[in-house]
Structure 1
Amino acid sequence: MIALFDLDGTLTDPKAGITRSVQYALERLGRPVPDADELTWMIGPPLIAGFTELLGGTDDAQDAVRFYRERYGDVGLFENEVYSGIPALLRDLREKDVRLYVATSKLQVFARRILDHFGLSRFFVEIYGSEPDNRNADKRDLIRHILDEERFDPASAVMIGDRKHDAIGAKANGITSIGVTWGYGSRQELLEAGAACLVDEPGDLEEIIARGAFLEDTRPTSPIGKTSISR
């Protein structure tokens, strides 16, 4: 079995670093600065897409991304914390010979620094992210790139993430997805995007991934522990 993990909102809670860096970018642009809680929707989508929506167009979006990265690359990426239960989950999956990868829209260099900082890099075969020119920021492109590089069968893999972009990217590449509810996407968002099931706690993921429970032909809301399997 192969498991692709999103980073923000799935492995770590990046709210402080991301929202503060968005606020910094808006300040640099001379734009109104919303409260942090009004910016959590920016956690998950590709950064350029988020700023394009936030600013109402593309004119200032590239500058906003540059300003954002200016702060985020210095302090923002470490204003972050690992979700409880994640290190144990990754360790247990590795012990069951599940091959683990990171698939994040975040810049690959930032993702590596974060995972190194928290001691999580050792669990992953490889860490994949976007490039400074926004290549592979879209999860559909990123997962396609991973398949091209790693050459594994999509039917043997699962994508785990907290936002619709994870489920959409997985579906576009023939991969099943699991939505996690401790991040920043709603249950409705994840199910409508095509997630095969929803998981409420990291500890519930091990059994589901290791035995392929997400592939079972279940019907709406069949419980596995505290996990909802929904089709």
Structure 2
Amino acid sequence: MNLLFDLDGTLTNPYQGIAKSICHALKTLGRPVHHQTDLRWCIGPPLKNSFAKLLKTDDENLIQAAISIYRERFGTVGLFENEIYKDIPEALVTLRDAGHILYVATSKPTIFAERIIEHFGLGQYFRAVHGSELNGTNSDKADLLAHLLQSEGIAPAETIMIGDRRHDMIGAKSNGIFRIGVLWGYGTRDELEASGAQACIRHPEALQTAFDK
């Protein structure tokens, strides 16, 4: 089976790096955020969508300015303010050794996703890392997964998407891919099931069991 793993909120917990980089961008633009503001909802959606909501604007120039400032910090510091979820490496070993082929499928730009995967020593488990382009191409999860299926030459019927947010489930459903939601990330069971999750699991070790059902 081909297993597609989301990155943020599924393999790693990126909150500190993302939140600090968002706050840096907003402060630079004169839109400071209180230090106790909860930015967990920003983990998962395309960054463009998050800044549009945070800035309360549809001004493309302002949104792109925020993204550029964000990336200046994230690309040097923020991407390493991150940690692997407990038991993820062990689960990846088990799945790989069982004969599954693993891929990363993230809305995060590939250039950042690859550095994060290598930094945490996870590259050995994945055949490829698929992310978006810096210009926004494939930041929508449905587009990303369609591109992944085509470029890797794999069939939706032989593929499973594993992620923690509704974008993962919606994108996979639109491509005819089986969907598993993980509950250790940033999405709730209600969010995942309402978006099309066909199974939800609470711990990485439950992944193999979920595939066997």
Normalised TM-score (structure 1): 0.89
Deviation at 1:34, TM superposition (A): 3.3
In structure 2, the partner of 1:164 is 166
In structure 2, the partner of 1:92 is 94
Q: Which amino acid aligns with 1:158?
A: I
The CA distance in 1 between the partners of 2:54 and 2:191, in whole Å, is 19
The CA distance in 2 between the partners of 1:183 and 1:36, in whole Å, is 20
Higher relative contact order (CA 8 A, sep 6+): 2
The percentage of counterpart residues that share the same residue type is: 52
The CA distance in 1 between the partners of 2:21 and 2:199, in whole Å, is 32
Q: Which amino acid aligns with 1:40?
A: R
Which of residues 205, 208, 212 in structure 2 aligns to 1:206? 208
The answer on whether the counterparts of 1:179 and 1:190 sit within 8 Å (CA) in structure 2 is: yes
> Relative to structure 1, is the Cα distance of residues 36 and 173 closer, same or farther in structure 2, using a 3 angstrom cutoff?
farther
The CA distance in 1 between the partners of 2:204 and 2:124, in whole Å, is 18
- Matching of residues 6-25 of structure 1 within 5 Å: 6-25=6-25
Backbone CA RMSD of aligned residues: 0.9
Which of residues 104, 120, 123 in structure 1 aligns to 2:122? 120
Deviation at 1:57, TM superposition (A): 1.6
Q: Which amino acid aligns with 1:32?
A: P
Q: Which amino acid aligns with 1:7?
A: L
* Deviations, residues 158-206 of structure 1 (Å, cap 9, x unaligned): 1000000000000000001100010001111100000001100111112
Partner secondary structure for residue 200 of structure 2: strand
* Deviations, residues 107-145 of structure 1 (Å, cap 9, x unaligned): 101000001000001100100001010000000000000
Partner secondary structure for residue 150 of structure 2: helix
**Which blocks of at least 5 consecutive residues in structure 1 are unaligned?**
214-231
Deviation at 1:35, TM superposition (A): 3.0
In structure 2, the partner of 1:28 is 28
Normalised TM-score (structure 2): 0.97
